[in-house]
Amino acid sequence: MAEEESIAVEEAAGPLLVLKWDQGLFEQVVRGQQFPDEWDARFPAEGQTAADAPPGFITLYADFFREGNFLLLATNFMLAILHFYGFHISQMSPTGMVRVRHFEFLCRSQGMEPSVARFRVFYQLIHNLGFYSFALRNVKKILINRPKSFHDWKMQFFFIREEVMPIAMIFRPSGEIEKEDTPISMFEMHSSSLLTWLSW
């Protein structure tokens, strides 16, 4: 757990800062993800921060797409995660995105529908300086070669119509997060690999 917490501190250190990328990189994201014109993806103006989304827009980070395999439209599992934990997608760190999407890929590779209940067996919510991520519980690792850190991710953001996320997202207040109790028995975890255990 200590390793997980140190990574979380690194990824969330510092305030919301202004841009550290350019229009060309933004357009690469838009083209690569094939955003339709009606989503009105917007490169921020000089001096805007990630907290300055115009009315009717949300903030997304480029590393969600480049490193986290996030897609629009979002999957039902991603929407379920945001709803259950009660935070806005702009409050998630790229590391959190990587963990959610990787878990979803693992479930689907085994022919199973991912669920919040299954996700919670492996991960618990963590919070550092306004951003949310997920730390591994005291179980076998399921993401062996995870990214160690993301550089400048908070400064590489853009705005897009809020309709792309068909869920009523709220901004979760900053504060302490109580340690969650594991909701599903862990006895099968001691002698089985992730892929065999996930088939229960």
Length of the chain (residues): 200
User: What's the whole-model pTM score?
Assistant: 0.74
Percent of the chain with pLDDT over 90: 40
| Angular region, 143: left φ>0, alpha ψ -120 to 50, beta rest | beta
What pLDDT does residue 149 have?
A: 61
Q: What is the pLDDT of residues 77-107, one digit of tens each?
A: 999 999 999 999 999 999 899 999 999 998 9
| pLDDT, mean over the chain | 78
Which of the two residues, 44 and 155, has the higher pLDDT score?
A: 44
Q: What is the pLDDT of residues 2-60, one digit of tens each?
A: 334 333 333 444 445 555 678 888 999 999 999 999 999 999 988 888 889 999 999 99
pLDDT at 200 over 80: no
pLDDT at 108 over 50: yes
- Quick one: average pLDDT of 109-135? 89
Find where tokens 């953001």 sit: 157
Chain centroid to Cα 87, Å, comes to: 11
List, in order, residues 6 or more apart from 56 with CB less than 8 Å away. 161, 162
Please, where are the H alpha helices in 34-143? 62-66, 76-85, 94-109, 116-122
| Distance in angstroms (rounded) separating the CA atoms of residues 172 and 83 | 11
Quick check: 166 and 79 in contact, CB under 8 A?
yes
Read off φ and ψ for residue 35, nearest 5 degrees.
-65, 130
What pLDDT does residue 136 have?
A: 85
| Distance in angstroms (rounded) separating the CA atoms of residues 145 and 138 | 18
Q: Which two tokens stand for residue 191?
A: 């002698």
| Distance in angstroms (rounded) separating the CA atoms of residues 184 and 121 | 6
The amino acid present at 151, given as its one-letter code, is H
Could you tell me which of 50, 64, 42 has the C-alpha nearest to residue 20?
50
Confidence of residue 168 (pLDDT cuts 50, 70, 90): confident
What pLDDT does residue 77 have?
A: 96
| Distance in angstroms (rounded) separating the CA atoms of residues 76 and 90 | 17
| Distance in angstroms (rounded) separating the CA atoms of residues 87 and 179 | 17
What pLDDT does residue 176 have?
A: 61
| Distance in angstroms (rounded) separating the CA atoms of residues 70 and 101 | 7
Quick check: 107 and 195 in contact, CB under 8 A?
no
